[in-house]
Chain A
Amino acid sequence: MKQMTLQLETLTCPSCLLKIEKGLKRLEGIDKDSVEVMFNSSRVKLSFDDSKLDSNEIQKTIENIGYDVLKTTLK
């Protein structure tokens, strides 16, 4: 299990949160309960199984929904 924090472009609509959250939860290998999309800081925090899922895949998912990822940190 790895922890990932993604800094996104400033989120401005509340429904963005739901979109990003649901989009990420559909990915195989994500710990569903860990997904936290933060509106004010425009950050996403989550844990995932790195044997099942590549961290780039996570970033791409968010970008496909329509939000730029500025910075990622893996722990």
Chain B
Amino acid sequence: MNTKIIYKHKNHLMLVSLILIVFAFVNNYVTHNKNISEILLLIASIVGLLPILFQAYSALKIKVISIDVLVVLAVLGAFIIKNYEESAIVTFLFLFGSFLEQKTLNHTKKAIKELTDLTPLEAAVLKDGLTVKIPIEEVLVGDLVVVKTGEKVPVDGLIVEGSGYLSEASLTGESIPVSKTLSDQVYASSILDDGHIVIKTTAVLEDTTFGKIIEMVVEAQDKKSRAWQFIDRFSTFYTPVVLIFGLLMGLLTKDLELGVTILVLGCPGALVIGIPVSNVAGIGFGAKHGILFKGSETISDLAKSDVFIFDKTGTLTKGFPEVVEMIAYDSNVDKIKNYYKSLEETQTHPLAKSILNYIGDVSTFEVKDLNVIKGQGIKGYINDKRILLGNQALMDDYQVELSSVLNDIKRFEEKGLSYVILAEEEKVLSVISIGDQLRDNINNDLKRLRQLGVKDTYILSGDNQGAVDKIKDSLNMTQGFGGMLPKDKKAFIDKLVLEGRKVTFIGDGINDAPSLASATIGISIKGGTDVAIETSDVVLMHHDLYHLATAKRLAGKILRNMWQNIIISLLVVIVLLYQVLYNSQMTMSIGMLVHELSILVVILNGMRLLKTNIKEK
């Protein structure tokens, strides 16, 4: 194909044309032989025009008047009036402009490319007792895949052999590896830090959780906002209008150069490219930092959203019980800790787990005659002393003297905390209170949101009003509503949306699905899970709310960047058209230069987003 060859050597042709132009100017300066210069410039014009001509031809064949067609017309016009300097420079600038655009555009797309490059390419599949490396596309559901230490898990699957520590940072943002063993689910793109596992494939490529994340980001780049659609529509009308205007002006004034100059200036290059560039750079930058936007409209909505509604359990709170306080009624705190650990180690209850986490690494005693009393606690003997660990009923049954702890117990009950009592023989040693606590730094995260212009923050919860009010007050939130069913939450959100407010809802994505869908922007706190990807408009890959404010700030930046680009490109078009009509010094090459520069300026402006400071001062 001739066309292909020409396209492939477009950059070479550009270079040749540049060299010819330089020679022409040098020659002009040294020998003052205008004729040689004119010939050199004519050749330069033709060399530069070749690829543009082919592009214009392929466009005309399908009845499209593209910028290539306009440039060809402009250059032919220059030929007619024998202005070869103009034609050479215009073609060169046009080629050089698109060359620079390509380079810089690739840069804006880099962040997303880095993400898609994380997709595993091959898998070690176990077949007839042999391990064979095959391309990922050929792996089937049900295949056994071997993963060794340091390798990336290539597919989603269940462990059928071995165990190990897996880092799932690419999915959850959590850098601490998780221990996984037989029949546990592992995810593509996580890294096996330690161990050796064989997994049975449950999903490959686009069907894996990671694949869905990638797909979401890739698709998001082109999801158009209303402003974007408007500009697109505007530019499709704009080109033919300018074409007619240019022809009319040319005919009326009998000034061919004026006509063709208008044609070149009329191509809304910067306008068309400005929004996509901001969008791709912003979405790519967010993705790199674990903030995934589903599209341009989401960005614009989040930037403008001033009502943030939170679910309580698991969203504002950690969602799992944690020790709030340990009170010792005996001076030997070490012994108390040893007792807790010795007894709780034998239990699997979630409360036992949180107590063990809190106690940490201490030595244990041997427990004899261990007895679990259903619904009450446990009883055992350590060094021939009867040790009890459990609730008030258990203590009452064994005549433990409780008068000293009643005040503390009352305080815990008021706070809505659970507690366990530890007793040696008839004497209380300690009480531990346990509860679902607020996330770390949540107060600061909400404060950052308010600083970004969020007016109202609400809690909607199924929990009792007392518990909700306490959180509302401690976090300075606008209002809190307890005892709400999923449908009540949805109704509350619907009402605000109907009032015309941009509402962001943050929930766990499981029983909050209706609210997530009703809100202008739904955000699930579940990190990079299937649930979050399906239900959220913005996916935060981290299990924290710090990135919520960061996401809003980034959305604001992207939105501002888009508007800057729209304004830059409109101003350039207006100023240029004005200059063409009223400034006789204005030439086609200057017009082309400014036109190409304006495209570069909007790309460079978009690239500024890649340098956003994600950390707060």
Give me the interface of A with B, judged by CB distance under 8 Å.
Answer: 10, 12-15, 18-19, 22-23, 26, 36, 38-41, 43, 64-66
A45 to chain B: closest CB distance in Å?
A: 9
CA A36 to CA B63, docked complex, whole Å: 18
| Besides A10-B109, A14-B276, 13 new A-B residue pairs in contact (Cβ under 8 A), listed by A number | A12-B101, A13-B98, A13-B269, A15-B67, A15-B68, A18-B66, A19-B66, A23-B62, A26-B62, A36-B222, A38-B222, A39-B222, A40-B276
Evaluate contact between A10 and B106: CB separation under 8 angstroms.
Answer: yes
Our pick among B7, B62, B279 for the contact of A22 (Cβ within 8 Å) is B62
**Chain A residues with CB below 8 A from B109, complex form:** 10, 40
Docked complex Cα distance between A36 and B232 (Å): 13
Q: Is B280 an interface residue (CB 8 A)?
A: yes
Residues of A within 8 A of B280 (CB): 40
Q: 1/0 per residue B90-111: CB within 8 Å of A?
A: 0000000010011001100100
- How far does the alpha carbon of A64 sit from the alpha carbon of B101 in the complex, in Å? 23
CB distance from B448 to the nearest CB of A (A): 29
Give the tally of cross-chain contacts (CB within 8 A). Answer: 64
CA distance A15 to B62 in the complex (A): 13
Q: Which residues of B contact A13 (CB under 8 A)?
A: 67, 98, 101, 269
Complex Cα distance A40/B222, Å?
Answer: 6
Name which of B53-61, B139-147, B418-426 contacts chain A: B53-61
The distance in angstroms between the C-alpha atoms of A13 and B63, with both chains bound, is 17
In the assembled complex, the Cα of A40 lies from the Cα of B101 at a distance in Å of 13
- CB of B54 within 8 A of CB of A66, answer yes
Q: Which residues of A contact B58 (CB under 8 A)?
A: 19, 64-66
Which partner residue on chain A sits nearest B279 by CB separation?
Answer: A40
**B121 located at the interface, meaning its Cβ lies under 8 Å from any Cβ of chain A in the complex:** no
CB distance from B215 to the nearest CB of A (A): 10
Q: In whole angstroms, what is the CA distance A10 to B219 when docked?
A: 15
Q: B218 on the interface (CB 8 Å rule)?
A: yes
Nearest CB on A from B51, distance (A): 10
Measured CB to CB, the nearest residue on chain B to A10 is: B106
In the complex, A10 Cα to B269 Cα: how many Å?
17
The residues of A that contact B219 with a CB separation of less than 8 Å are 41
Cα-based distance from A15 to B72 in the complex (angstroms): 15
Measured in the bound complex, the distance between the Cα atoms of B235 and A15 in whole Å is: 10
**List of B residues within 8 angstroms of A65 by Cβ:** 58, 62
A11 (CB) vs chain B CBs: closest residue: B105
- 13 examples of A-B residue contacts, CB within 8 angstroms: A13-B67, A15-B59, A15-B66, A18-B66, A19-B62, A22-B64, A36-B222, A38-B221, A39-B222, A43-B218, A65-B62, A66-B4, A66-B55
The 8 A CB mask of B1-41 against A (1 = contact, 0 = none) is 00110010000000000000000000000000000000000
- Are B64 and A15 touching (Cβ within 8 A)? yes
Query: B236 interface residue, CB < 8 Å from A?
Result: yes
B600 interface contact, C-beta 8 A = no
Known: A10-B102, A15-B59. A41 touches B269 (CB 8 A): no
Smallest CB gap from B97: residue in A: A13
Within 8 A of A (CB), among B266-312: 267, 269, 272-273, 276, 279-280
- Bound complex: CA A43 to CA B62 (Å): 20
Chain B contacts for A23, CB-based, 8 A: 62
Taken together as a complex, chains A and B put the C-alpha atoms of A70 and B566 apart, in Å, by 32
Q: Write out the residue numbers on chain B whose beta carbons fall within 8 Å of the beta carbon of A22.
A: 62-64
Evaluate whether A12 and B98 lie within 8 angstroms (CB atoms) in the complex, with A19-B59, A40-B276, A66-B7 already known: yes
Q: Which of B106, B218, B222, B272 has the most CB of A within 10 A?
A: B222
Chain B residue numbers with a CB within 8 Å of A10 are: 102, 105-106, 109
Q: Which residue of A lies closest to B221 (CB)?
A: A40
Contact in complex: A19, B221 (CB < 8 Å): no
A64 to B273, CA, bound (A): 24
Task: Report A-chain residues with C-beta under 8 Å of the C-beta of B7.
Answer: 66
- Bound complex: CA of A16 vs CA of B273, how far in Å? 12
CA distance A43 to B280 in the complex (A): 14
